[in-house]
Amino acid sequence: MVDTKDYIKYIRSNGCRVCGQFPVDPDHLEARGMGGAGKGGTVTNTLKDFSCIPLCRVHHTERGSLGNEKFEKKYNINIWKDAFRLLRSYFAD
């Protein structure tokens, strides 16, 4: 399994994709499921860690409530495109 800890640190080093605020949560676009929690209380080292974007707690919660389509429309963003750009930027450096 790929160690994704550094990538999650990279995501946390970026501001919220909506408002630019810190701190952020690595909001996973692919559900990681319940169980299998690591030391930090979250599932770690899954390839799904590479499908996340930085969102502040408010926007993380809102995306979960609205769903992707309504969230993207409300803020005029494409979360999957943002996730790809972040991933590409991480590996390009």
Number of H helices, E strands in the chain: 4, 2
Number of domains in the chain: 1
pLDDT of residue 65: 96
- pLDDT tens-digit map of 33-80: 644 444 444 455 677 888 999 999 999 999 999 999 999 999 999 999
Q: What pLDDT does 35 receive?
A: 41
CA dist., res. 76 & res. 93, Å (int) = 28
List the one residue out of 65, 69, 83 whose CA is nearest residue 29.
83
Q: What is the pTM of this model?
A: 0.82
Handedness of CA 71, 18, 89, 39 (dihedral sign): negative
Alpha helix locations (H) across the chain?
5-12, 57-66, 68-75, 79-92
- Which residues form the domain of 50? 5-92
Residue 32 has a pLDDT of 63
pLDDT at 11: 96
